[in-house]
Structure 1
Amino acid sequence: MRIGLITGGGDCAGLNAAIRAVVKHAHGSYGHSVTGFRNGWRGVAEGDVRPLARDDIRGVLALGGTLLGTARFHPHSEPGGMDAVLATLEAERIDAMICVGGDGTLHAASVVAEHGVNVIGIPKTIDNDVEGTDASIGFETAVHVATEAIDRLHTTAESHNRVMVVEVMGRHAGWIAVQAGIAGGAEIVLAPEAPFDMDRVVRTLKHRHRAHASFSIVVVAEGAVPAEGTSLDFETRLGPHGEIIAGSTGERVAAAIAERTGFETRVTVLGHVQRGGTPLPGDRILASRFGYAAVEALAEGRSAVMTALRGDRVELVPLSEVAGRLKRVPDELIAVASALA
């Protein structure tokens, strides 16, 4: 069998571990060949091929990023994109595709599968917002990076009697903000799932500073928005490709806090630092399990499915049930973050 392999969307820690698992298991257990395509679905459309053998994956387990490169390219949304993908797969005699990506890449994978291509998806995203799986590759490392930053900001906030606003990634789902906020002991966590009232934020901070503290940590997901009808009104600033401009939400929240409380306030925008660096053991293990399961799924004749962590088991779920859907933070977890402020 000739297996095609891509990594698409934003990079994250653990992608190389997934690539390694696919190549080692496909070659070693079944004698399959693996053809990598550079830069996600764009590489498939353009025929940008990189054969992958065991020598190509030596020493990559602990490396961040992806040796295949990545891009945000969805062939079904590009003129002639799907035809180009199908032509490349035929020219390279690809029997099946393994696609490692987030909601956009996996949605594209489901469309490709509808055109008769055997496709297995592997979920990865630091936002942890892929429906159908308890965890995605890269999330654990991103939360660790954010938590470590919050821990460090505690000491400087206390030393200078400041409010520190920490903006983390999360446009549609606040998984990083909520979990890092809980783990780092933040006083306030603002997530997209729970539009906030700035007056309430201000009251909370004033009460805390009057009662027992001279500093506070406020964690803000980039996609957090004020509730309708409240005293703070702003629109999230977007870039040319629809992405949220880093720092725009955190700066707006920080300015409102400083103006209404009089407290010295600073902003730290973690941005892409959450994506990079050495993957934690948990992400290496999850990526390895997903890579193994994807190859096994092909051996069983499965297609149009995604590997998913359900409890302590890796299972296969239909792409049609998860593609284009977002997993949001449950109310219970947001309640924990709020109650422990």
Structure 2
Amino acid sequence: MRVGVLTGGGDCPGLNAVIRAIVRKGVQEYGYGFIGFRDGWHGPLEGDTVRLDIPAVRGILPRGGTILGSSRTNPLTTEGGVRRLKENLASHGVDALIVIGGEDTLGVAAELHARHGVPCVGVPKTIDNDLSGTDYTFGFDTAVNIATEAIDRLHTTAESHMRVLVVEVMGRHTGWIALHSGLAGGANVILIPEQRFDVDQVCAWVRSRFTIRYAPIVVVAEGAMPRDGDLVLKDGTLDSFGHVRLSGIGEWLAKEIERRTGKEARTTVLGHVQRGGTPSAFDRWLATRFGLHAIEAVRDGDFGKMVALKGTRIVRVEIADAVAAVKTVDPADYQEAAVFFG
């Protein structure tokens, strides 16, 4: 059997650990051959491949990013895309495809399997931790650790200058990174997409913090919205999956806080640093286990499934179910953090 592997969407710590586990187990235990497709769905769409064997995956466990490259290419919206993809898979002798990605990348895999008969197994990847069907996605733990360290460092400069520091973290639809890093980092306000915020209330918390001579840290997810406003966009362009580019809620909020409270406010946008660099120990562990179980699903012919973490066990769920709805922050979890606001 020959198995194709691709990584799609945003890069993420742990991708290389998945690739390594798939190839090591597939070659050593099952005698499979592998082919890597470059740059997400662009690879099978254009027939762009790389060698993928045991020598190719040596030493990649601690490396961030992906040796296969990634993109947001969508073959379902490309003219003749499905036909070209299937022809390229056939010409390279690919019997099964392991797809490592988030909601968009796995959504394509679900469609290709259900409607076009492409044998796919999914591996969940997103630093946002917003995929249904799995307790955690790899990359999330690393992103939270990076954001928490940044918040820890910003406390000292905020208090030295007695100014408000607004920290913008990733999170288009959900506030998992903001909530976890904000709580772990001792933020005084946490704002997430699931809960529209009142700017006046935020300013009240800021004023309250200054009364005890401690400068506040406000953590805001990029998709958070004020009660009487909308998303802050970088521009009006859309990617191939129809997503707008978000940017600027942190800067907008800092200006509003400064204008309404008279306190100096500055913004730090963590951006892509959250998903770059070496993966945490937890993400290496989880990504490796996902890879081992993904190749087992291929061996079993259990296609249309995604490997997932439930408790401490790796299970299989339908890809279509995993991408059907976004996993959002429970209001009760957010209310726990609210004890520390102000």
TM-score normalised per structure 1? 0.96
Shift of 1:10: 0.1
Structure 1 distance, partners of 2:182, 2:153, is: 13
1:145 is aligned to: 146
Task: Give the total of aligned pairs.
Answer: 335
Distance 1:15 1:101 in 2: 9
Contact 2:223 2:246 in 1 (8 A): no
What amino acid does structure 2 have at the position aligned with 1:332? A
Aligned partner of 1:308 in structure 2 is 308
Residue number in structure 2 paired with 1:128? 129
For 1:289 and 1:11, the matched residues in 2 are separated by 19
C-alpha distance in structure 2 between counterparts of 1:259 and 1:135, whole Å = 39
Superposed counterparts of 1:64-103, under 5 Å: 64-103=64-103
C-alpha distance in structure 2 between counterparts of 1:251 and 1:324, whole Å: 33
Residue 301 (structure 1) shift: 1.7
Offset at residue 320 of structure 1 (A)? 1.8
User: Partner residue of 1:280?
Assistant: 280
2: CA distance between counterparts of 1:136 and 1:93?
30
Structure 1 unpaired stretches of 5+: none
- Is contact 1:222–1:250 with CA below 8 Å preserved after alignment? yes
Q: Which residue of 2 aligns with 1:204?
A: 205
Tell me, in whole angstroms, the C-alpha distance in 2 between the residues paired with 1:23 and 1:223. 37
Is the 2:24–2:54 Cα contact (8 Å) retained in structure 1?
Answer: yes
How much has 1:73 moved relative to structure 2?
A: 1.2
Distance 1:234 1:264 in 2: 24
Deviates more, 1:109-118 or 1:146-155: 109-118
Matched, 1:39 2:39: yes
Q: Is the contact made by 2:124 and 2:131 (CA closer than 8 Å) also made in structure 1?
A: yes
Question: Which one is further off, 324-333 or 85-94?
Answer: 324-333
Q: Distance in 2 between matches of 1:188 and 1:90?
A: 53
Q: Tell me how far apart the structure 1 counterparts of residues 163 and 234 of structure 2 sit (CA, whole Å).
A: 29
Equivalence for 2:332? 332
Q: Which whole-Å deviations, capped at 9, do the CAs of 1:180-205 have from their partners, x for residues lacking one? A: 00000000000000000001111111
Task: State the match for 1:175 in structure 2.
Answer: 176
1:236 is the counterpart of 2:248: no
Structure 1 residue 244: Cα displacement:
2.9
TM-score normalised by the chain length of structure 2: 0.96
CA distance in 2, matches of 1:256, 1:66: 39
For 1:236, the aligned partner's letter is V
Contact kept in structure 1, 2:224 and 2:231, CA below 8 Å: no
User: 5 Å matches for 1:242-257?
Assistant: 242-246=243-247, 248-257=248-257
**Who is 2:63 aligned against?**
63
Is contact 2:144–2:180 with CA below 8 Å preserved after alignment? yes
CA distance in 2 between partners of 1:78 and 1:193 (Å): 33
Amino acid at match of 2:57: I
Moved more, 41-50 or 315-324: 315-324
Q: Measure how far apart 1:51 and its partner are.
A: 2.4
- Cα deviation, 1:265-285, whole Å, max 9, x if unaligned, reads 110000000010110111111
Corresponding letter in the other structure for 1:116: G
* Alignment-mate amino acid for residue 216 of structure 2: S
**Corresponding residue of 2:17:** 17
8 A contact 2:167–2:250 mirrored in 1: yes
2:216 is matched with 216
Indicate the residue corresponding to 2:190 in structure 1. 189
Match of 2:113 in 1: 113
Q: Contact 1:40/1:71 (CA < 8 Å) preserved in 2?
A: yes
Shift of 1:235: 4.0
User: What SS class does the counterpart of residue 26 from structure 1 fall into?
Assistant: helix
- Residue 221 of structure 1: CA displacement? 0.3
Give the Cα separation in 1 of the matches to 2:41 and 2:207. 50
Deviation digits for residues 119-163 of structure 1 (CA, Å, limit 9, x no counterpart):
100001111111111111111000000000000000000111010
- The 8 Å contact of residues 102 and 124 in structure 1, kept in 2 or not, is answered as yes
Larger deviation: 212-221 or 21-30? 212-221
Pick which of 93-102 and 325-334 moved more.
325-334
Within 2, Cα distance between the matches of 1:54 and 1:111? 31
User: Matches of 2:129 and 2:78 in 1, distance apart?
Assistant: 26
What secondary structure sits across from 2:82 in the alignment? helix
Given that 2:223 and 2:231 are in contact with CA atoms closer than 8 Å, whether structure 1 keeps it comes out as no
Contact 1:104 1:324 in 2 (8 A): no
Rounded to whole Å, the distance in 2 between the matches of 1:244 and 1:166 is 18
Question: 2:56 & 2:20 partners in 1: Cα distance?
Answer: 9
Q: What letter corresponds to residue 187 of structure 2 in structure 1? A: A
SS in structure 2 of the partner of residue 107 of structure 1: helix
Cα distance in 2, alignment partners of residues 79 and 149 from structure 1: 44
CA-based RMSD? 1.1
Q: Stretches of 4+ moved more than 4 A in 1?
A: none
In 1, the alpha carbon distance for the partners of 2:322 and 2:86 equals 23
Q: Distance in 2 between matches of 1:323 and 1:182?
A: 28
Task: Give the whole-Å Cα distance in 2 for the aligned partners of 1:89 and 1:133.
Answer: 29
Contact 1:15/1:66 (<8 A) preserved: yes
Quote how far apart the aligned CAs of 1:29 are.
0.6
Q: Which amino acid aligns with 1:174?
A: G
